[in-house]
Amino acid sequence: MSLLSVEGLTVALPPGGDRADAIEDVSFSVDAGEILCVVGESGSGKSITANAVMGLLPKGLPVRAGAIAFEGTDLLRLGAEPMRKLRGQRLAMIFQEPMTALNPLMRVGDQIAEVLQVHGAAADAARRVPELLAAVNLPDPAAIARSHPFRLSGGQRQRVMIAMALALEPALLIADEPTTALDVTTQMQILRLIREIQSRRGMGVLFITHDFGVVAEIADRVAVMQHGRIVEQGPAAEVLNAPQHPYTRGLIAAVPHGAAPERAAITGEEVLRVTDIAKTYRRGGIFGAKAVVRAVHDADFTLKRGETLGLVGESGSGKSTLARCVVKLVTPEQGEIAYDGTNLRLLSRAAWKPYRQRIQMIFQDPYASLNPRRTVGDTIAEGPVTHGTPRAEALGRARELLRLVQLDAGAMDRYPHEFSGGQRQRIGIARALAMRPDLLIADEPVSALDVSVQAQVLALLAEIKARLGLTMLFITHDLRVAAQICDRVAVMQRGAIVEQGPTRQVFSAPQHAYTRQLLDSIPGRGWTPPQL
Amino acid sequence: MPAFTVKDFWRRYRRNKGAVVGLVVLLLVMLMAATAPWLFPGSPWDMASAPFLPPGEMGMLLGTDSLGRDVAAGIAHGARISLLVGAVSTAAALLVGVTLGAIAGYLGGFADDAIMRFTEFFQTIPSFVLAILLVAIFTPSIGSVVFAIAVVSWPPVARVVRAEFLSLRGREFVQAAEVLGKSRVSIVLTDILPNALSPIVVLSSLMVATAILLESALSFLGLGDPNLMTWGFLIGSGRSVIRLAWWMSVFPGIAIFLTVLALNLVGEGLSDALNPRLARQRGGAA
């Protein structure tokens, strides 16, 4: 008998949704000592599945049909009280967002002890809490137990969450995208930790993720979800290397493969040279301690015409700040940003204006980067109109650009909220291209998108860049994306570029220890997606 | 935030029953103000009948005051002044508050500090005392009353607008506008302000209510325009004879109460309709 078996589970969506059921006829099982990964894009119903098992579905989403058997008990027929006993003790869950999942006013140790207390094991708390913190590889467990959550990093908090989930040695752990909010190096540590604890204790794990790299890293078996249905499931090696269903094949084909192809060195003239840039943030005023953050320092780089330079690094490494310095969204205190020989840093707002046409930017969050009160056509035409193009001509060009980014011309008079994330990102690209720039700065343009949409947008960027002969500064935290699109990469850590060179060289023979660490942390680096 | 469409807006507004009632009451008050010269021809200051007539007697719907003036005529003509003062002083306060708040929120840094300290300077003085002082200095007239009310009611607008601008300034679509090379004025007017309108609209409906109350209070104290009939003046003049002729104070009081309540209900309805997400959180989905 399986530890958990879900049979024909159907959960209804409230009327008026985009489909009748959130999940439909979902069946799978998890054995003790096994990791089942449920993969799917946003809206596929994977989190609903996890919440249904935990009995955490909101009222608006009733279970229509099916059964969830856990150690032989049907969870759907269980009353609230027995379910509460089971939760935490036999079934545990960890969530995506470690920054908000802990009570900010309670010491970490007390929060773990509370779990034990609720289930009547308070006597053991003093002994078990440090043990648990040690089990999730946190250094100095005694000190961590006394800290409040705000003192811990995202990765440390996620470890604490895992320690809480493990406190009562559950038989089944449900992990809902537990590493999505974390940096790659931290993600790898957490994945290893989950794997290690799972094999040590023989737990069953239901792991929800959207990332095939993570699947390759951790899964024993895989279930692929699309539109609320499981379209394919089987052993990890089989699904990853010989996918059968067209949707799975499409998803796996869209995964950036992480191997940098051989590229000819770019030999154009120099377009941009950034030297000695420094940006320091100071916090705190007359009272209280001053905090000084050196956001960018020692970050010199050059860009040649037609080249794509990738700035890679983890969150807080200063890569976005550096890119924003180039377009003067952030003003650095010193240094030189030489564009075609002019130092842009010293220019006034008015003197900068002509350069706005030549340097454009694509933003990260497709939901925040378009003005919600302006039509798509106006959004795209706005830049040229600002620089003196007659409105009719600018709108005509906007229509052409929509075609270039593969959107319908009917989009002109609609508002951004009517479009999906991928479509909005195309609109953002069209807005940047409307200025006919020759330098394009892309700040994590695909990190908020699903993997299949991400592949389309990357392909679009590559095509446009080749067709228009653009030079590009591409900021990303995803090394697999960088490998695919960049001619050269510069690795940033704590505000400084620690290594730069041709992509292939950096990926195959990294010089700096941090680069090696980053490369080792790419999830699923041992797996090469099959050519489909 | 979804784009603003009139149909959606009205559908969400209608969900709040109180707001619909408020809107109806407000429209009735406006209608009364607009038709006052026809309903009650002649000056409301003229003697219409015998003094101290109780409501209903000798064709006087709401009775007469100590000089035989028609209370109903006073209320209808007073509505014109109350609504006018409410609207004009709110418009003036919005102009100052939105401008200063926008500058402080968008520029930040020293401008922000300077403007906010200036705003706090006004906020530390009790607003009614300041209004009395201003009217007393400039001699009571409709102009000085409007001016005084505007002066004491702009600071909250400036604070709200500044907060909105601070959060919108960092949004990516504003940065995108910056990268497109748009001028500061055009970014503020076309990118930030339209997205900050909802709280301003809600706040201004409440400000009209407060302005009407302030004007009534000033008139009650005898600081209103001596040539204009207002609700506050009616209550003030009825105060000394309240045991003899209750109707002289009660009916203008009810008029003020209903108008202010209606404006508050409308404000709440606007807030629900313009921030559908918040309305749902409050459980107003039904």
Domain boundaries, chain B: 6-40+59-281
Q: Is the pLDDT of residue B189 over 60?
A: yes
Q: What are phi and psi of A300, to 5 degrees?
A: -85, 135
Tell whether A59 lies on the interface with B, counting CB pairs under 8 A: no
CB B269 within 8 A of CB B23: yes
Residue contact B173–A360, C-beta within 8 A:
no
The model's pTM: 0.81
Q: What is the CA radius of gyration of chain A?
A: 25
CA distance A532 to A530: 6
Distance from CA of A357 to the nearest CA of B (A): 7
CB A500 within 8 A of CB A274: no
Within chain B, where are the H helices? 6-15, 17-39, 71-107, 109-124, 127-137, 142-169, 172-179, 184-186, 193-220, 231-239, 247-274, 276-281
Distance from CA of A233 to the nearest CA of B (A): 38
Number of CB pairs < 8 Å for A and B? 68
Q: Which of A378, A332, A340, A334 is nearest to A359 (CA)?
A: A340
pLDDT for A310 equals 93
Q: Which of A250, A270, A241, A440 is nearest to A339 (CA)?
A: A270
pLDDT for A205 equals 93
Instruction: Tell me the one-letter amino acid at A86.
Output: L
Q: Is the pLDDT of residue B282 over 60?
A: no
CA distance A100 to A478: 24
Give the pLDDT band (50/70/90) at residue A168. Answer: confident
CA distance B3 to A372: 6
pLDDT for A264 equals 75
Contacts for A502 with CB less than 8 Å, ≥ 6 apart:
A263, A265, A487, A488
Residue contact B175–A383, C-beta within 8 A:
no
Dump pLDDT digits (tens) for B98-133. Answer: 999 999 999 988 999 999 999 999 999 998 999 999
CA distance B212 to B7: 30
CB < 8 Å to B281, chain A: none
Q: What is the mean pLDDT of residues A373-378?
A: 89
Element (H, E) at A452: helix A451-468
Euclidean distance between the first and the last CA atom of chain B, given in angstroms as a whole number = 21
Residue contact B2–A417, C-beta within 8 A:
yes
Instruction: Tell me the one-letter amino acid at B118.
Output: F
Give the pLDDT band (50/70/90) at residue B276. Answer: low
Topology of the domain comprising B6-40+59-281: MetI-like fold (1.10.3720)
Residue contact A373–B178, C-beta within 8 A:
no
DSSP A41: -
Q: Which residues of A490-528 are buried (b: 16+ CB within 10 A; e: fewer)?
A: bbbbbbbbbbbbbbbebbeebeeebbeebbebbbbbebe
**CATH code for the structural domain at A4-90+171-254:** 3.40.50.300
Q: Which of B234, B224, B216 is nearest to B44 (CA)?
A: B234
Dump pLDDT digits (tens) for A332-343. Answer: 988 899 998 889
pLDDT for B285 equals 36
B138 or A20, higher pLDDT = B138
CB < 8 Å to A447, chain B: none
Q: What is the mean pLDDT of residues A96-123?
A: 84
Dump pLDDT digits (tens) for B50-87. Answer: 777 878 777 777 888 878 888 888 899 989 988 999 99
Out of B180, B183, B184, whose CB is closest to A435? B180
pLDDT for A285 equals 59
Structure tokens at A401: 């650009």
Dump pLDDT digits (tens) for A212-262. Answer: 889 999 999 999 999 889 999 999 999 999 999 999 998 888 888 767 777
Structure tokens at B130: 């300041």
Give the pLDDT band (50/70/90) at residue A284. Answer: low
Element (H, E) at A428: helix A421-433
Residue contact A383–B181, C-beta within 8 A:
yes
Work out the angle at residue B148's Cα, subtended by the Cα atoms of residues B144 and B154, and round it to the nearest 5 degrees. Answer: 140
Q: Is the pLDDT of residue A463 over 50?
A: yes
Tell whether A373 lies on the interface with B, counting CB pairs under 8 A: yes
pLDDT for A266 equals 77
Out of B2, B181, B184, whose CB is closest to A387? B181
Q: Is the pLDDT of residue B281 over 50?
A: no
Q: What are phi and psi of A496, to 5 degrees?
A: -125, 150
Q: Is the pLDDT of residue A286 over 80?
A: no
Give the pLDDT band (50/70/90) at residue B135. Answer: very high
**CATH code for the structural domain at A270-358+437-520:** 3.40.50.300
CA distance B219 to A19: 62
Query: Scanning the structure block, which residue is given the tokens 């207002």?
Result: B230
Out of B3, B184, B194, whose CB is closest to A415? B3
CA distance B159 to B255: 31
Euclidean distance between the first and the last CA atom of chain A, given in angstroms as a whole number = 36
Instruction: Tell me the one-letter amino acid at A126.
Output: A
Task: Put residue B120 in one of left, alpha, beta given phi > 0 → left and psi -120 to 50 → alpha.
Answer: alpha
CA distance A53 to A5: 10
Domains A4-90+171-254 and A270-358+437-520 share a fold: yes
CA distance A417 to A371: 10
CB A386 within 8 A of CB B176: no
Dump pLDDT digits (tens) for A181-210. Answer: 778 888 888 888 888 888 888 899 999 998
Q: Which of B18, B42, B36, B97 is nearest to B284 (CA)?
A: B18
Out of A356, A373, A415, whose CB is closest to B195? A373
Question: What are the extents of the domains in chain A?
Answer: 4-90+171-254, 99-167, 270-358+437-520
pLDDT for B89 equals 94
Tell whether B175 lies on the interface with A, counting CB pairs under 8 A: yes
CA distance A264 to A246: 34
Q: What is the mean pLDDT of residues A28-33?
A: 91
Q: Which of A302, A273, A276, A310 is nearest to A441 (CA)?
A: A310
CA distance B120 to B111: 14
CB < 8 Å to B176, chain A: 361, 363, 369-370, 428, 431
Within A97-183, where are the H helices? 108-118, 125-135, 141-146, 154-166
Q: How many residues does chain A have?
A: 532
**Residue A383: exposure state from Cβ atoms within 10 A (0-12, 13-18, ≥19):** buried
Give the pLDDT band (50/70/90) at residue B2. Answer: very low
Q: How does the average pLDDT of chain A come out, rounded?
A: 87
Residue of A nearest to B168 (CA): A368
CA distance A488 to A490: 7
In A413-526, which ranges are E strands?
439-443, 471-476, 488-493, 496-502
Out of A324, A353, A372, whose CB is closest to B181? A353
Q: How does the average pLDDT of chain B come out, rounded?
A: 86
pLDDT for A17 equals 67
Distance from CA of B109 to the nearest CA of A (A): 13
CB A128 within 8 A of CB A119: no
% of residues, chain A, pLDDT over 90 = 29
CB < 8 Å to B200, chain A: none
DSSP B100: H
pLDDT for B284 equals 38
CA distance B131 to B115: 21
Distance from CA of B5 to the nearest CA of A (A): 10
